């Protein structure tokens, strides 16, 4: 760079050819298929296409209900954070990653382990980091990890970024999205380190029975692999099946459970999660997995201290009515989805959601006359109807859609009606 003498401005000079640089290629490979990236592309097309006649946008693409007044955080949770902040005790760097033992029982209960005392105490972490931490700890050279399809993209991203191979087992739509355990056995080999189970499920809305989870644990035992139980939707169930924590099978196969405030407390922006190990036989101690999880905190950031400081009061003061209200709205929304989607041509909904905030539906493109695939469907739907849904390919199933129903019920009805008129308008004429 050279300064021109007269006014101090920098004059551009050509960049020398020798100055070439390639960014981390693992990242370049991940760019195309993130939930955020694809939704941003759909929204950009919607805006460019004039945005569906100026009607309000119905966001059924990603799971963040906190924008809707009916899904506001509980005042008890807000008070807990405000109290922690006002106490003046949480302005320092965070000094530890675990909760005080006296408080870990609250977290343990939040995760569904009513009587179990957790040892070691859960480690608090920035929520998405729980996935990063676990994938980093397990990623020894040559390792592979078994992930559900459809699934949650972040696992693949984190596994691959750490040099692990991601292998996919199917969830079976005709069996309420149960794990294909035969498929799991066929996939695994001596380098398989773990299997990921998301229950209640994103993107399928599945809730697994005790018997099915027992079968998954037995399969993991047979294969000698760990179970990573993503339970960020713990207790968000509204069908007949109650949530069963995977940790109850810790004696069958060692379980690493990931939990979070994000979904159940409706505060994804607070960014607080936890890692709990359930392993009465001490496998994680013996294999240094537990120590590695703690050590990983040396090289990653901690959650904001006043949110950490709020956890004991937040758990203590959260009211059952708050959770019941969320579940009541989600149940109503799931019913609306089931009814309206089943009345929409070109769409099949194989299984009624029983938990979480999502449902997977299959597109029958042969009924539609001018739609190429799921991506095309979503872009056109956004452009013509201002309705945003996620193309199934992003969660591993091309020509499916993932629909988020955690929005206020009147908007949901509006959105699904627009989806229906879109499908009708693009239907092939009857032969």
Ligand X SMILES: *Cc1c(COP(=O)(O)O)cnc(C)c1O
Binding site for ligand X (CB under 6 A): 63, 127-128, 152, 198, 202, 230, 232, 260, 262-263, 268
Q: Tokens 């004429």 appear where? A: 429
Residue with Cβ nearer ligand X (134 or 188): 134
User: Residue 268 or residue 396: which is nearer to ligand X going by CB?
Assistant: 268
Q: Shortest gap between Cβ of 233 and ligand X (angstroms)?
A: 7
Would you call 337 helix, strand, or coil by DSSP? helix
Taking the least distance from each CB to ligand X, the nearer of 226 and 422 is 226
**What residues pair up with 226 in beta bridges, in sequence order?**
194
Considering beta carbons, is residue 361 or 379 the nearer one to ligand X? Answer: 361
C-beta closer to ligand X: residue 268 or 353: 268
Minimum CB distance to ligand X smaller for 261 or for 371: 261
| H or E element, residue 198 | strand 192-198
Count CA within 13 A, CB hemisphere, residue 231.
30
Residue 125 C-beta: closest distance to ligand X, Å:
10
Least separation in angstroms between residue 14's CB and ligand X is 44
Q: Least Å distance between CB 268 and ligand X? A: 5
Least Å distance, CB 372 to ligand X, is 28
* Neighbouring C-alpha atoms within 13 Å toward the C-beta of 294: 14
What is the residue-wise DSSP string for 252-302?
TS-EEEEEESTTTTT-GGG--EEEEEE-TT-HHHHTTHHHHHHHHGGGSPP
Question: What is the nearest approach in angstroms of ligand X to the Cβ of residue 336?
Answer: 21
> What gap in Å lies between CA 125 and CA 260, rounded to an integer?
9
Is 374:392 a contact under the CB 8 Å cutoff? yes
Establish whether the linkage from the previous residue to 150 is cis, with ω within 30° of 0: yes
| Cα–Cα distances in angstroms (integers) from residue 65 to residues 22, 59, 61, 403, in the given order | 38, 10, 11, 13
Closest CA to 407 of 397, 394, 416, 419: 416
Tell me the HSE value of 112 on the side-chain side, using a 13 A CA sphere: 25
Burial of 85 (0-12, 13-18, 19+ CB in 10 A): middle
For ligand X, which is the closer residue by CB, 59 or 268?
A: 268
In the complex, the smallest distance separating the C-beta of residue 390 from ligand X, rounded to whole angstroms, is 12
Select 52 or 59, whichever has its Cβ closest to ligand X.
59
Residue 244, H or E segment: none
61 — phi, psi (to 5°)?
-95, -40
Residue 116 CB, nearest distance to ligand X (Å)?
Answer: 22
């Amino acid at each position: 760079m050279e300064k021109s003498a007269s006014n101090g401005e920098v004059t551009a000079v050509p960049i020398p050819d020798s100055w070439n640089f390639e960014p981390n290629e693992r990242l370049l490979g991940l760019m195309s298929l993130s939930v955020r990236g694809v939704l941003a592309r759909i929204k950009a097309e919607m805006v460019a296409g004039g945005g569906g006649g100026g009607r309000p946008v119905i966001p059924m693409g990603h799971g963040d209900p906190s924008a809707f007044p009916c899904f506001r955080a509980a005042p008890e949770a807000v008070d807990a954070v405000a109290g922690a902040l006002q106490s003046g005790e949480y302005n320092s760097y965070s000094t530890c990653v675990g909760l005080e033992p006296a408080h870990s029982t609250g977290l343990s209960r939040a995760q569904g382990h009513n009587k179990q005392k957790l040892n070691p105490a859960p480690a608090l972490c920035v929520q998405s980091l729980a996935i990063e931490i676990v994938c980093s700890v397990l990623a020894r050279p040559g390792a592979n990890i078994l992930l559900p399809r459809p699934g949650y993209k972040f696992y693949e991203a984190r596994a691959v970024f750490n040099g692990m191979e991601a292998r996919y087992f199917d969830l079976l739509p005709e069996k309420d999205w149960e794990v294909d355990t035969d498929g799991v056995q066929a996939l695994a080999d001596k380098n398989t380190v773990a299997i990921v189970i998301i229950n209640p499920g994103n993107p399928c809305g599945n809730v697994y029975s005790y018997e099915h989870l027992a079968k998954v644990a037995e399969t993991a035992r047979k294969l000698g692999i760990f179970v990573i139980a993503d339970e960020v939707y713990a207790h968000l169930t509204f069908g007949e099946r109650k949530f069963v924590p995977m940790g109850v099978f810790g004696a069958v196969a060692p379980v690493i459970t990931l939990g979070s405030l994000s979904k159940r407390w409706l505060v994804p922006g607070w960014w607080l999660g936890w890692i709990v190990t359930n392993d009465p036989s001490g496998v994680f101690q013996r294999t240094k997995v537990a120590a590695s999880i703690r050590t990983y905190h040396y090289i990653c950031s901690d959650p904001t201290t006043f949110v950490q400081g709020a956890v004991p009061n937040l758990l203590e003061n959260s009211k059952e009515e708050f959770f019941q209200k969320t579940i009541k709205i989600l149940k109503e929304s799931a019913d609306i989805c089931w009814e309206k989607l089943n009345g929409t041509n070109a769409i099949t909904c194989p299984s009624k959601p029983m938990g979480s905030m999502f449902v997977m539906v299959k597109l029958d493109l042969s009924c539609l006359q001018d739609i190429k695939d799921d991506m095309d469907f979503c872009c056109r739907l956004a452009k013509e109807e201002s309705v945003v849904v996620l193309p199934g390919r992003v969660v591993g199933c091309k020509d499916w859609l993932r629909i988020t129903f955690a929005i206020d019920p009147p908007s949901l009805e509006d959105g699904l009606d627009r989806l229906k008129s879109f499908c009708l308008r693009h239907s092939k004429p009857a032969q």
